[in-house]
Amino acid sequence: MPEGPTIKHFSRRLKRFVGKTVTEASGYGDMDKSRIVNIRLDDIETYGKNLIFVFKDFFVTAHFGLFGSMVINDRKKVNASFALHFADSEINFYVTKTKFYEGKPTDVFNFKTDILKPEFDADFILKELQEKYSELMIGDVLMDQNIFTGVGNIIRVEVLYHAKIHPDSLIKNIPEKKLIFLLKMVVDYSEEFLSLMKTGNVKESALVYGKKICPKDKTELLIEEMGKVKRKTYVCLKCQKLFK
């Protein structure tokens, strides 16, 4: 599944469409597309794993889920779930879920939780974690899009390794300075992920995601589906401490 930085990278590839007129929207998805005709595309934004097409009074989000994809000025053999047509070009989406919203993205979404936004507010997240998520395991909470908007499994696995925290640690037992460091890692690693998208070697550059041994002490990693999220997790039991 694409993670926040992947979507941000897509949005950068689409910037040249900003200011152009969308002549028509199509696709088999059941979202009402009647208002997306002969209208200027005002902006392309992101919110976590959502790509956002901003028009004057409304906007449309596109979420790639597990199997979604996007091609520019090209078509796959299967039907597009959503497509935006311009006079001389088109953007086609496959197996992508779209949603129509009235107003502006900031009316609907809280940018404070978006790991790639300048509005990301580590103090706010820390407070939320300690007040509302304290009984939960950090490995699960990192995948919660309401509090870590844009984090996917690669980011989750890598930042827990960087911060030396075992994913099954309960938030209430993790020292505050460790949580603060983890939040910094989330932002730093997401930026690194985004810049690695240009060369396409996010997975090759990962320290433990998709690997078998810890790069530091060469011990074998524990690789299994962990926590309630049941996502494949890579942990070094020597480096990552379980706070319980």
Tokens of 224: 């299994």
- Both structure tokens of 223: 């690789």
Would you give the binding string for Zn ion spanning residues 45-64, x where CB under 5 A is met? --------------------
Query: In degrees rounded to 5, what are phi and psi of residue 16?
Result: -65, -15
CA-atom Rg of the chain in angstroms: 20
Q: Which is nearer to Zn ion, 185 or 239 (CB)?
A: 239
Given 132, 238, 242, 244, the residue binding Zn ion (CB under 5 A):
238
Residues 206-235 that bind Zn ion (CB under 5 A): 214, 216-217
Of residues 137 and 208, the one with the C-beta less far from Zn ion: 208
CB of 16 or CB of 232, closer to Zn ion: 232
CB nearer to Zn ion: pick between 159 and 214: 214
Using CB atoms within 10 Å of the CB of residue 225, give its burial: 0 to 12 exposed, 13 to 18 middle, 19+ buried. Answer: exposed
Nearest approach in angstroms of CB 157 to Zn ion is: 13
Closest CA to 202 of 4, 45, 12, 69: 4
17 half-sphere exposure, CB direction, 13 A CA radius = 27
Amino acid in position 7: I
How far, in Å, CA of 238 to CA of 182, rounded?
Answer: 18
Q: Does 40 bind Zn ion (CB under 5 A)?
A: no
Taking the complex as a whole, how short is the minimal distance between the CB of residue 223 and Zn ion, in angstroms?
13
Q: Is 99 left (phi over 0), alpha (psi -120 to 50) or beta?
A: beta
What six digits make up the tokens of 123? 């103090």
Binding mask 156-195 for Zn ion (x = CB under 5 A): ----------------------------------------
Q: How far is the CB of 137 from Zn ion (least distance, A)?
A: 20
Shortest distance in whole angstroms from residue 242 CB to Zn ion? 14
Please say which residue, 97 or 164, places its beta carbon nearer to Zn ion.
Answer: 164
| Nearest to Zn ion of 195, 219 (CB atom) | 219
Q: How many residues does the chain have?
A: 244
99 exposure class (CB count in 10 Å sphere: 0-12, 13-18, 19+) = middle
Q: Which two three-digit tokens encode residue 118?
A: 């300048």
Min dist CB 165 to Zn ion, Å, is 13
Find the shortest distance in angstroms from Cβ 109 to Zn ion.
Answer: 37
Residue 236 touches Zn ion, criterion: CB under 5 A:
yes
Residues that bind Zn ion (CB under 5 A): 214, 216-217, 236, 238-239
